[in-house]
Amino acid sequence: MAKRKPVRVVVDTNVLLSFLIGKRLGPLYGSMMGGAVQLVISDLLIRELTETAKDPKFRRYFTSEVVQEMLFVLGEAAEQFVVKPPFLAVCRDAKDDHVLALCHAGRAHLLVSGDEDLLALGKHGRTRIISPKEFGILITH
């Protein structure tokens, strides 16, 4: 039987932070390490995650060591792409256009986001835009 290709996934910064806060990284890591999911990242996404995680309002939820562990795993297991502005204006919030550019560059099947501006699109090119809840159902079954 032929091995299935991994689902190529971009996980938005807000979802990665949510995973850190809820200490729910296990299923994501397991899916990545098991070959079911190929995470797609960019330097901009990593920079946004790093900067946002430094915000004092998040310090009570997770330590900088946990953030560093996540960044290490992402660096080792995710496929990284370079996306540079100017970005095609697609989303009603221009700050999200870099995530859509990453989906295109990384040939992502899924974008997982909790951002209503992105979820309202439903799809971008070949990329389906889904909620973290929908993603959780996919990776646990």
Give the tens place of pLDDT for each residue, 85-100: 877 777 767 788 999 9
Paired with 111 in beta bridges are: 10, 129
Indicate whether 81 belongs to any domain: yes
Indicate whether 113 belongs to any domain: yes
Taking only the tens of pLDDT, the chain with its 141 residues reads 556 789 999 999 998 988 888 766 566 666 666 778 899 999 999 999 999 998 888 888 888 888 898 888 888 889 999 988 877 777 767 788 999 999 999 999 999 999 999 999 999 999 999 998 888 766 554
Q: Hey, which bits of 6-103 come out as E strands? A: 7-11, 37-42, 79-81
Tell me, what CATH number does 18's domain have? 3.40.50.1010
Can you give the residue range of the structural domain that contains 121?
Answer: 7-140
Q: Which of 94, 91, 85 has its CA nearest to residue 43?
A: 85
Indicate whether 2 belongs to any domain: no
Q: CB of 97 within 8 A of CB of 112?
A: no
Indicate whether 1 belongs to any domain: no
Calculate the dihedral angle through the C-alpha atoms of 8, 99, 103, 32, rounding to the nearest 10 degrees: -10
| Pairing relationship of beta strands 79-81 and 123-124 according to DSSP bridges | unpaired
How far is the C-alpha of 12 from the C-alpha of 44, rounded, in Å? 11
Indicate whether 23 belongs to any domain: yes
Number of structural domains found in the chain: 1
Number of residues that make up the chain? 141
Complete DSSP assignment for 31-48: HHHTTSEEEEEEHHHHHH
* Residue 73: C-alpha distances to residues 4, 18, 25, 123 (Å): 22, 17, 11, 28
